[in-house]
A and B are shown apart, each in its own frame.
Chain A
């Protein structure tokens, strides 16, 4: 473990990513302390006389939105929602996808076929329809957003893990482990899962960006995070029709998503390399 950390620390880009994530996380946690204004407050001087939003300036650092609310404060509070959705929804998707893919790939037969046909079914089903259907039954809100995103995202991971598990199960060392008396549970967890960690990490980190975007899409349809709770994706879609007049309303939350996604990808890459035992003593 000490080795892994040492290698990770040597990777400057990965460390930069980690620092960015830490800054975002701290900003989200301490949003009530840092934010200059209440994110839902509509300021009289937050709009021009003609009623258009203000560009970035001294009073409102990142400008104001179409309702005259402070964009910087909204961004900080939005980080809470977006990070929560990104990490929790994606975490559930990765955990479920990995577990199902692993079992399907190892057991195969009836169980495996059923799981994989379920993924076919899920892939054939438009995620937005699913989201709308779910939201029609349940009260829309953060939990539903997380549920829908997890429900949509586990499929690809399950398929990739399935394919890799099928190939790995044929390896000699799996048979060797069986010849030592290892049972199925132990082979799955101790002998197969460690080989899948790089794939899982790549999906887990790449997925965060798509998750935040999916949140934006759901919010746009009114099936996502409910206003006035700020979330980055929602901020973009709320303002997209004012793009030409007030580009900062789209660019700033967009940049936040981009930087966060990039940071997670850098950390993911670094982790993958650091966890690879064949990289020991190199680089």
Chain B
């Protein structure tokens, strides 16, 4: 004889399981992905972004001023700064001068003739937006402290498709000091183009950077060690004016290597930018990269440097 109590218990168990399954299916909707709640998002206000890098070699001092856009704010709701700010610069302990806004460059500028930059000096920067935001920063323009830059000969290889690969090696030996010094190096080619549409005019195309195959573009030193670099360039160019695959001819005019001695903010900012874009962002399971800033109350960088360019080889149509 079947125990009525046992029948009742089995029925209850089945109902329990069905109810649980229903809970699963109804509960899953919108569960896995939802808008975050009950959290405080820090840094939800726009900040001034200021970028300026100064050196004795510049003919024009430039300061770029923008605003950051918080994620929680629509892009159109954050007004660009444009010229709506007062930008001041001064040598440490000296008088501030105001930089006017240049619409063409979209930056606040002053000619070096008016505000010369001297090596071995500190400089201060202040920015006040018309909305009342204020930021300031300081940088140092170092003396140029490189003992020697030596070069390997330029190697040029043409391939079967009209392209040209150029390889250049060089070494940098900083002066030996007891402090940590910061450097940036690289190379670039200057090229010109022969306009073949009737008048054979020569037009300067521009400068293109070498790809650094060996060595780090930004490096530090405090012992005067020797650093090796190799740059590589590939393009549809040539040196002898002969035809490539283009109707117009692009020819390399000269090859340069540059060496900058920089202050720490310049070095750290650019190193962090390089890391940021090298490793990528927005991946939740990797350590995020923070871009360095020495702008107090804002973002960006104010840095100083001292530069020297070394021309390796010059080419003209006459002495190719």
A binds B: no
Q: Measuring CB to CB, which residues of chain A are less than 8 angstroms from any residue of chain B?
A: none
Q: Measuring CB to CB, which residues of chain B are less than 8 angstroms from any residue of chain A?
A: none
